[in-house]
Amino acid sequence: MPEPDQRTAQRPRRHIDQPRLIAFDALRAINSGGGYANLVTAEMTHGLQHRDAGFVIELVHGTCRMQGSYDRIIEHASGRPLSDLQAAVLEVLRLACHQLFRMRVPTHAAVASSVDLAGVAISERVTGLVNAIVRKLSRKDFDEWCDEIGAGFGDLADMALRFAHPRWIVDALADALQSDDDELAALLDADNEPPIPMLVVRPGLARRPELMTEGARRTPWSPWGVERPGNPSELPAIRQGRAGVQDEGSQLVVQAATAVTPRLKGPWLDLCAGPGGKSALLRGLCPSVLIAAEPQPHRAELVAHALRAYPGGYQVVVADGRHPAWAPASMALTLADVPCTGLGALRRRPESRWRRDQSQVAELAELQRELLDQAIASTMPGGLVAYVTCSPHRAETIDVVAGAQGVEILDAPSMIPEVPEAASRLDDRFIQLWPHIHGTDAMFCALLCRT
């Protein structure tokens, strides 16, 4: 006879609720399977009651966000390196940390449910180890563990531990912020607050009142945005492609880029278009034809899907922006929203801060320079290039633009004068938005006129 499934062959006394078991499976899919927290949780919570789905999302996303600090606490409390722990056991301990330190779960429930989860999802053999470590974790709160582990740390190292950011990211943000530790702490804290979904109407297809259901509010600066809690797909305009989901920071850089274009006629180019949010906004504003280029076919399909509600006036091209499929000097406006580390969007991508490595910055910067060079070459004299990143890192922003040839740098913040403190502190000709100031992703934008 075939052996019974491990989870159904446990002792009858072991029972674990479905949300915690789903959270365990989700964390395994993210950390061992390379999944993305938002996609994994969306798939695994489909059909769950609202309360249970919310519990899973908070537990998984919060654990991913705080994971590096939780790992240091687990290592310290257990007295053994993480490599000595089975990967699945480590996931149970991480989930226990978040319940103990960040959720309103009673200590006895966090301990008991972690032991039961280990017995049901892994093996009865590991329950003793999990019980011992979780009980030790529960003896101190998060700040007390940080006090003990961080004794003797410098200020930035201590902030990295307490706010769960890799040290190299803290250093990069401190450099871009050019401020004191209090403001840096406010930024790191804002990175740990999940944002409310931000919606955008497609110009010419929808108007904001369609999205203004109960609990919604207009964005403070973007003329197209609505902040609305809940599931965006509940709205007909979203399902029909007449509106989309897009952070206000992304809307504002498009607003800045299109503020000076009417002086030239010609097609517009979205050089790195996937997944298509900016392309859809540009298409609604473009007086000519929009070319949306994306090198990966599956992402090009996402771009086409984002543009589907428009009757025409656009072309989606599967092409690498470094090797263009269009004539040089043919675009009136080129938007280069280049691949980057994503340090500006850490609040909406909870797992990403632990997947990036400082060595990737130099590799990405080289790609960014190549894409900017081609964006300039694709733009007609007198045309505009908007260089955009979702990262405030110096090496991905002002250092890349500093190497641009044949352009005049424009005063980008003046294109969105209603937005306070929008100028980069590294160079006030550029836009730099911030989560703790603007409630947006930390978007960077440079506007360059080809000479």
Q: At 319, which helix (H) or strand (E)?
A: none
> H helices within 79-126, ranges in order?
87-102, 107-121
3-state secondary structure of 133: helix
Residues facing 315 on adjacent strands:
291
Token representation of residue 292: 């949306």
- The candidate with the shortest Cα–Cα distance to 91, out of 32, 176, 151, 178, is 32
In the chain, what is the straight-line distance between the N-terminal and C-terminal CA atoms, in Å? 78
Scanning the structure block, which residue is given the tokens 């059909």?
A: 47
Distance CA 157, CA 321 (A): 39
The answer to whether 216 touches 234, Cβ cutoff 8 Å, is no
Token representation of residue 379: 């733009």
DSSP 8-state assignment for residue 82: G
Scanning the structure block, which residue is given the tokens 């999302």?
A: 57
Distance CA 214, CA 233 (A): 15
Q: Examine the residue annotation and report whether 390 is marked as an active-site residue of this protein.
A: yes
Distance CA 265, CA 286 (A): 10
Q: What is the dihedral of CA 83, 87, 92, 95, to 10 degrees?
A: 80
CB atoms within 10 A of CB 399: 14
Alpha-carbon distances, residue 278 vs 59, 201, 291, 306, 422 (angstroms): 31, 12, 12, 9, 20
Distance CA 121, CA 130 (A): 12
- Paired sense of beta strands 243-245 and 225-227, if any: unpaired
Residues 6+ apart with CB under 8 A from 400: 365, 368, 369, 372, 387
SS (H, E, C) 359-393: HHHHHHHHHHHHHHHHHHHHEEEEEEEEEEECCCC
The residue from 64, 97, 390, 445 that is catalytic is: 390
CB atoms within 10 A of CB 432: 27
Indicate the angle between helix axes 50-78 and 37-44, nearest 10 degrees. Answer: 130
- Active site amino acids: 390
